[in-house]
Structure 1
């Protein structure tokens, strides 16, 4: 009986100590640091999809990680000015463990880039062969990367070729080809008996040699093969043909008719709504943000009143939930205007919808959740330079 009583008192005392420790008020210094961290985060990294600023103040130390050295410097200056004593234990990305291999180039036709380092994680976005990425850190066989549109997510090691600065400069400076078909293949030999890789629109390959019928090409990881000449174009020639004309935008969009909806998709193999509009623009020379909620902040406001006469081919239409006193506006869908009271979008599959009640494509559902239209087309000299930097 005495033994059980002693045990009971011991457990009670332990619980009391735990509760006492958990109820200790936050120190004045800790409470003063949190607002400073929030200020810097709001200024430098308001969107966690495109920037990392995961920092906390614990036990007189700054802890966490960021890929924004300027933001970290700003925070430490604020703490110094506030007279806060601290130890800086923040991990600045890229991780030193990468040993200088902080560049990557996508080496498969379409790399699936996920929200967490596992194949079961949500598909965040995609990147096509030849796309350069910044490599931030490694977790097992996965790499945290940042794509040219600044999206940050995880890619399997098989999807990219790691490079140091020297190797990347060599790849970047080599002559390139752009695959201009929708779907195709690189073969081991000219007789096309065995495939090296599949290809999708916009894939970028290194030009090794050529003959009358084929290009000899190299992938970013060094694999080589042959590609039919009528399926590709030298990069320098291709980039000069990019134009955001009405014809080009409509043609590119309609070439993807019927492509299945894929959450996170940005390729001919599958697209979500914003991945579709992003791909249309990219294949014609302009880089736009990844998500509809990001795209809506681009360009010039054209309409909010369903005045379709104001719209031009290429304008982006945004749909969703209107703001109320209790909840903010929410952008959930986007499509591209193609004229004649119609727009093209990815919902279930790439399709054309109309706001004309007499049209067989009349879409009462999207009409009911229409919010606004934005014009995002840039002048040629601007967007050609932009895409050339991204792809080459």
Structure 2
């Protein structure tokens, strides 16, 4: 989802494509994610992505997207309100046209939520926003009656979820199993466990409970800022205990675990920590 509508950029170099996204994209919305249209401009719409808190808009994170990617299905919205839902628990999984999972339909991301229509044991029938009913493997999801039935996570739960994405390439503005930016990584880990935190690192750094460095616990979020930690926050990672941090660093790297306070770069820019779980 972009800052503003532009002509598509043509290139055959995937690496160049990823670097071009830096500064161009704002965030990602997952398949079936609810948005509100704020503005229309030709084939593009500016939307607010629900459940991505930001000071930029009261409804959710604002960004532009192609109008053709939107669906307006009252029946899907009703099912989301009245049916249990599946929550994708693997980095990416496939939806299928058929129960025997021989006809792939679409690859979808971790944390995608779709209404559950039928449970046949190993296979589940789910509703989609505009493509009818599809099948998904029961091994790829958890099932919940409602958002508030997602169990409160422990720090170890959050860390184990983060480890699923080790070696996943960084993606600017990413909030999915196809790629994360730093705050998209922490936001999505918490969101998959039923906890909604702000979308951007600079805002994540002003919410939750402040934590002194000597009192850090597993699951705390660590923040890093320019000007030796005194300027604007530009990065976030999750503390794992024993001086280690898991994070999605930058466009030239993948999700990794580092000894954060042994790093000259990160230790010099450390700007504090926040706690979002008990």
When the two structures are superposed, what TM-score results if normalisation uses the length of structure 1? 0.60
Determine the structure 2 residue equivalent to 1:341: 243
Partners of 2:133 and 2:79 in 1: CA distance: 17
1:157 aligns with 2:78: no
When the two structures are superposed, what TM-score results if normalisation uses the length of structure 2? 0.82
Moved over 3 A (4+): 118-121, 166-171
Partners of 1:259 and 1:341 in 2: CA distance: 22
Gaps of 5+ in 1: 1-112, 357-361, 380-392
Partners of 1:131 and 1:253 in 2: CA distance: 21
Decide which structure has greater helix share. 1
Gaps of 5+ in 2: 10-20, 53-59
CA distance 1:222–1:365, shift in 2 (3 Å):
same
Tell me how many residue pairs correspond in the alignment.
Answer: 253
1:278 aligns with 2:178: no
1:146 aligns with 2:55: no
Determine the structure 2 residue equivalent to 1:292: 201
Partners of 2:135 and 2:157 in 1: CA distance: 28
Matches within 5 A, 1:171-320: 171-236=80-145, 240-303=149-212, 307=213, 309-320=214-225
CA distance 1:336–1:323, shift in 2 (3 Å):
closer
Partners of 1:315 and 1:174 in 2: CA distance: 33
Partners of 1:208 and 1:336 in 2: CA distance: 36
Which structure is richer in relative contact order (CA contacts within 8 A, separation 6 or more)?
A: 2
1:114 aligns with 2:28: no
Partners of 2:276 and 2:83 in 1: CA distance: 32
1:332 aligns with 2:241: no
CA distance 1:340–1:174, shift in 2 (3 Å):
same
Q: Provide the aligned C-alpha RMSD in A.
A: 2.4
CA distance 1:352–1:139, shift in 2 (3 Å):
same
Determine the structure 2 residue equivalent to 1:368: 268
Larger Rg: 1
Partners of 1:291 and 1:298 in 2: CA distance: 11
